[in-house]
Amino acid sequence: MRSVLVTGGAGFIGSNFVRHLVSTTDVSVTVLDKMTYAASRESIADLPADRCRLVVGDIVDSELVDELVGSHDAVVHFAAESHNDNSLDDPSPFVQTNLVGTFTLLEAVRKHDVRFHHISTDEVYGDLELDDPTRFTEATAYEPSSPYSSTKAGSDLLVRAWVRSFGVRATISNCSNNYGPYQHVEKFIPRQITQLIDGLRPRLYGDGLNVRDWIHVEDHSSAVLTILTTGQIGQTYLIGADGEKNNLDVVTTLLGIFGRDADDFDHVTDRPGHDRRYAIDSSKLRTELGWTPQFGDFETGLADTVQWYRDHESWWRPAKAATESKYAAQGQ
Ligand code: NAD
Ligand code: DAU
């Protein structure tokens, strides 16, 4: 594998994966990214030009996709509309990018017989009760709740069908909630960190007891590279790092890092249809492919992430005011 096409490589997880590829392998990377509001050129601007080039374009553009896929050894597909709250406001770009975009890529990898890895989410499985002793596995039935998660579920099913019907050489991974550098300020952790940097109060949806299974983005990257290089074609792998926390605990930890009182936050309007809990059992990935997460301590990872946002204000500041005015209009 000498060249990899990374869709969505200027977004949060995609850009971290591109950095991981450049630092741990000698492959050359092409990023295909539409540069939506969620993308940033700066996230990959410091990478060597002979290892990483950016093509600005849309994954639904079949001519462009065909040309790029045909000249690479593998495709890792991160590009998506990724934010649940936005999908409740306007589902249309989610259907276009997540479903039609994935279809467009699948047709190109089918034509050129190129290895394909599809990035997906644990949200395709719906949610669990807080006291449910089970966790999601590769055998859990799909039951997505939001326009975002239903379009991701649909894209996974397209990949499975293209493997079975056309022999496309693809794998799928479904990961839990990522945190770390270069995450857009609309997302939970960066939103609260940047509120606190600005001396404002964190904003907690509903009762704050919803649970997410946090994984550092660097662990997601190493898992994806492991699957890309050693995963079995046609298989799905769940990626998680045993990081279940409720939102209230995350906010309290952040308040502690900033030296603020534990009750110095606001409860705001809940998200409609808000999934209660996600939890990943990643035994298959660990046992069959030998992957293990390296960022086991969430509090340390969170403190490092706070420091990153303190050190990179010029990266996130331009998006903060517009993001907050959108939330304010929804009472959040
Ligand atoms: P993000 O919103 O930060 O980045 C998405 C990127 O895709 C952006 O750079 C955007 O410009 C690009 N993009 C959007 N539409 C495009 C199009 N039509 N053509 C080309 N590029 C387009 O998202 P993220 O959080 O980095 O998520 C990346 C992937 O990982 C998504 O597929 C998401 O479903 C999945 N995922 C995310 C998480 C998480 O916690 N954030 C967890 C599991 C899985
Ligand atoms: O589980 C994987 C998914 O994680 C990915 O597929 C998605 O792309 C990614 O956005 C993320 O989805 P969530 O909806 O879980 O993430 P978000 O950061 O939007 O919210 C995390 C939790 O925090 C959720 O319970 C809602 C809550 N929340 C969010 C915001 C923005 C708040 O309480 N306050 C907030 O201000």
Count Cβ atoms within 10 A of the Cβ of residue 265 and give its class: 0-12 exposed, 13-18 middle, 19 or more buried: buried
Query: Is 123 among the residues known to form the active site?
Result: yes
DSSP class of 280: B
- Do the strands 170-175 and 236-239 form a parallel or antiparallel pair, or are they unpaired? parallel
Residue 19 Cβ contacting ligand 2 at under 6 Å:
no
| 99 CB near ligand 1 (under 6 Å) | no
Mutate to test the pocket of ligand 2, among 77, 84, 211 (most ligand atoms within 8 A of CB): 84
**3-class SS of residue 79:** coil
pTM: 0.99
Q: Is 182 marked active-site?
A: no
Mean pLDDT of the chain: 98
Q: What is the pLDDT of residues 245-291, one digit of tens each?
A: 999 999 999 999 999 999 999 999 999 999 999 999 999 999 999 99
- Interface ipTM above 0.90: yes
The response to whether residue 79 sits with its C-beta less than 6 Å from ligand 1 reads yes
219 Cβ below 6 A of ligand 2? no
Residue 143: is its pLDDT beyond 90?
A: yes
**Distance between CA atoms of residues 79 and 180, nearest Å:** 18
145 contact partners, CB below 8 Å, separation of at least 6:
123, 126, 127, 273, 275
Q: What is the DSSP string of 287-312?
A: HHH----S---HHHHHHHHHHHHHHT
31-60 confidence digits (pLDDT tens): 999 999 999 999 999 999 999 999 999 999
CATH code for the structural domain at 3-178+215-239: 3.40.50.720
Which DSSP symbol is given to 28? E
pLDDT for residue 132 is more than 90: yes
Residue type (1 letter), 70: G
Ligand with the closest atom to the CA of 277:
2
> Encoding tokens for residue 99?
């479903």
Q: Where are the domains of the chain?
A: 3-178+215-239
pLDDT reported for residue 126: 98
Q: pLDDT confidence of 61, banded at 50, 70, 90?
A: very high
Q: What is the pLDDT of residue 296?
A: 85
Q: Where residue 92 falls among pLDDT bands split at 50, 70, 90?
A: very high
Structure tokens at 7: 């869709």
Three-state DSSP state, 140: coil
Nearest CA to ligand 1 atom 23: 82
Q: Token pair for residue 174? A: 């479904």
Q: Which residues pair with 172 in a beta bridge?
A: 118, 236
Decide if 86 contacts 80 (C-beta within 8 A). Answer: no
Regarding the beta carbon of 220 and ligand 1, being less than 6 Å apart is answered no
Residue with tokens 């397209």: 158
CB atoms within 10 A of CB 209: 13
Percent of the chain whose predicted confidence (pLDDT) is above 90: 100
Q: Is 244 a catalytic residue?
A: no
Say yes or no to pLDDT of 124 above 90.
yes
Residues in the chain: 332
Of 21, 214, 241, the closest CA to residue 117 belongs to: 21
At 167, the pLDDT band (50, 70, 90 cuts) reads very high
